[in-house]
Structure 1
Amino acid sequence: MSIFEKIGAEAADSATKDNGSGGSSIFTFNSGMTVKVRVKSPTDVAMYYGYSMFNPRVNTFVPQKSATRNAKGFITSGHTPWDRASDYYYALAKEAKEKGDQAKAEEYSKLGYNFKGKRRYLVGFGHLETGEDIAIDFTQNQYNVVKAAIDKYAKKLDKVAFELTKTGSSTNTVVSLSPILDMDEDLTEAERANFAKCGEKPFDFALFEDCLYVADETEQIKNLVVAGFDIGLLGLTLGAGAPSSGGEITDEDLPQF
């Protein structure tokens, strides 16, 4: 079973529909960076549900066995330990709201959100510095910005390079994808050559497979402990072994309320 919920055109379309790091192959794209890229196709994208916690720190991971979700992203079966923790707090939020305690309801709702799997997107580009394929990870909001730019220039992708920029930090992180309209003036000779090289073959989707940190159920439970959740509330226990966490945490792993 794939760790991705959707691949290609289906993943690209999912960003505009109703809702819901890293391994060795993902490109490190930190705030303050600008990367010159070629967009090979609007559908070089994969969508997945990532789980993380900023404080206490649990880095982004995907479950080895993902929950089953309906077309709108709601879980219908196969809840992971983190899904169960999220539901636990959402149930408390509902109870508090019914009792008229709005402050508690909001507190529990935020906790439920923290443990919830969030939609994230891996997008493939051609890197003009190297001429090779790269994969960059985005939150859903960031991908919506990137997708809008790609869609705007969809008919000119073979003629237009882009600058991908990230600024800000935490929940104020902003991503932009801007066209380089004068490639003779704004690209070096090597970058123009790599633009042509990147267009010689389609994006290699196999690159996505090594980008995400996959956690089995035991590690997910350990990460719940790291996150400060009382696993006994779910009837869960742990054997020997130190808690651990997944891939490197980034600003995008912060809760987006």
Structure 2
Amino acid sequence: MVLAGTSALAMLDDSGQGASGNDSSFSKFSSGTKFIVKALAPDKIASFDSYGIFKDATIGDDTFRRVNSFEPETPSTKNDKGYATDNLTPWDLAANYYNEQAQALIEDGADKDSATVKPLRAKAAVFRLKQRFILPFVDLDTGALIYIDMSKLQAQAILKVTKKQHEKGKLNRLAFELEKSGSGKDTVVSMTPIVDIEDELTDKQQANFAKVDVDAVEPNFNGLTFVANHAQQVENLVATGFDISAIGIEAPEKDEELPF
């Protein structure tokens, strides 16, 4: 389930999509998007385990079909590096299916980047859980709270800025330009303080800036993620084209109520 506040903040330490409700929803934050915002205190964030396939992935002779992201109803137990170790979800089992084959080859002397091992590692990555972080901001164009879905590295970059200004007690006195650029592994999320509010903000943005007290804003993370039970996770796994019999799972009964 979604972890909020200090629990989510701890997940950003280096050592350690679809909505299921009607409360809040993610704002689109694709490359090229720019928001003028006020930032909330660094502990007003949330994190969740995300599974899914963003787009069809062809690896070797296998093609795994796109499946919308979801959060497991019962999260797996993870080690300090974020890898699932116990109470595994069906998707964790699928990832381990390929990881174990890759590890067996490596133990027999194969290189991890060899033509036999690398595809197996890539297939495992398709099904592996991804830790995602939800950062809320006040959009100064509307005065409303927006929720942005970020990777761990992206969230760390933003929280570095937020923490610095929060420690100085300046969050209520600063506006920021929140921007996403690049693509793929070169995607960059940045948040830059706006130096001159009167010159760089529109009249509407200045009005929203003046009336919003970020210390009084409390985010509502309900409804942001689609929470899937075990049967729904299995159905999603089948939908990708993965053979669930390989991990000892049977398909749910056809008369079970599923949202898809």
Same structural fold, with TM-score higher than 0.5 when normalized by the shorter chain: yes
The DSSP-based 3-state class of the residue aligned with 2:8 is helix
| Paired position in structure 2 for 1:22 | 18
- Alpha-carbon separation, structure 2, partners of 1:200 and 1:91: 48
Contact 1:26 1:210 in 2 (8 A): no
User: Partner letter of residue 43 of structure 1?
Assistant: D
Q: Distance in 2 between matches of 1:163 and 1:200?
A: 16
2:31 alignment counterpart:
31
The equivalent position to 1:65 in structure 2, one of 67, 74, 77, is 74
- Gaps spanning 5+ residues in structure 2: where? 57-64
Mapped partners of 2:118, 2:18: distance in 1:
31
2:143 to 131, 140, 145: 131
RMSD: 2.2
Residues 181-232 of structure 1, C-alpha deviation per residue, up to 9 Å, x if partnerless? Answer: 1101111121112123321663333x21111111121221122122221101
- The answer as to whether partners of 1:40 and 1:199 remain within 8 angstroms in 2 is no
Amino acid at match of 2:50: G
Question: Radius of gyration: which is bigger?
Answer: 2
1:79-135 alpha-carbon deviations (Å, 9 max, x no partner): 110011111111111101012232222221222122111111001111111112111
Cα deviation, residue 47, structure 1: 1.3
Find out whether 1:146 has 2:158 as its counterpart.
yes
Map of 1:254 onto structure 2: none
TM-score (norm 2): 0.84
Letter in 2 for 1:30: S
**What's 1:217 paired with?**
230
Aligned: 1:48 with 2:60: no
Deviation at 1:64, TM superposition (A): 1.4
Deviations 1:4-36 (A, max 9, x none): 2x32133223213235x1325111212211001
How far does residue 174 in structure 1 lie from its aligned partner after superposition?
1.5
Partner of 1:237: 250
Equivalent positions of 1:74-153 (< 5 A) are 74-102=83-111, 103=114, 104-153=116-165
How many percent identity over aligned positions?
Answer: 33
Contact kept? 2:171, 2:214, Cα under 8 Å: no
Change (3 A) 1:177 1:200: closer
Structure 1 CA distance, aligned partners of 2:108 and 2:211? 63
> Unaligned stretches of 5+ in structure 1?
247-257
Tell me which residue corresponds to 1:186.
200
Aligned partner (choices 226, 229, 244) of residue 239 of structure 2: 226
Q: CA deviation at 1:38?
A: 0.4
Residue pair 1:223, 1:245 contacting (<8 A) in 2 also: no
Please tell me the residue identity of whatever aligns with 2:189.
V
2:4 & 2:214 partners in 1: Cα distance? 22
Partners of 1:16 and 1:71 in 2: CA distance: 9
Distance 1:223 1:200 in 2: 39
Contact kept, 8 Å, 1:120 with 1:138, in 2: the verdict is: yes
Inter-partner Cα distance in structure 2 for 1:75 and 1:119? 11
Equivalent in the alignment of 1:12: 9
1:147-166 equivalent positions in 2, closer than 5 A: 147-154=159-166, 155=168, 156-166=170-180
Partner of 1:251: none
SS in 1 for 2:179: strand
- Partner SS, residue 216 of structure 2: coil
Pick which of 108-117 and 177-186 moved more: 108-117
- Measured in 1, the distance between the counterparts of 2:75 and 2:150 equals 20
1:170 correspondence with 2:184: yes
TM-score, normalised by the number of residues in structure 1: 0.85
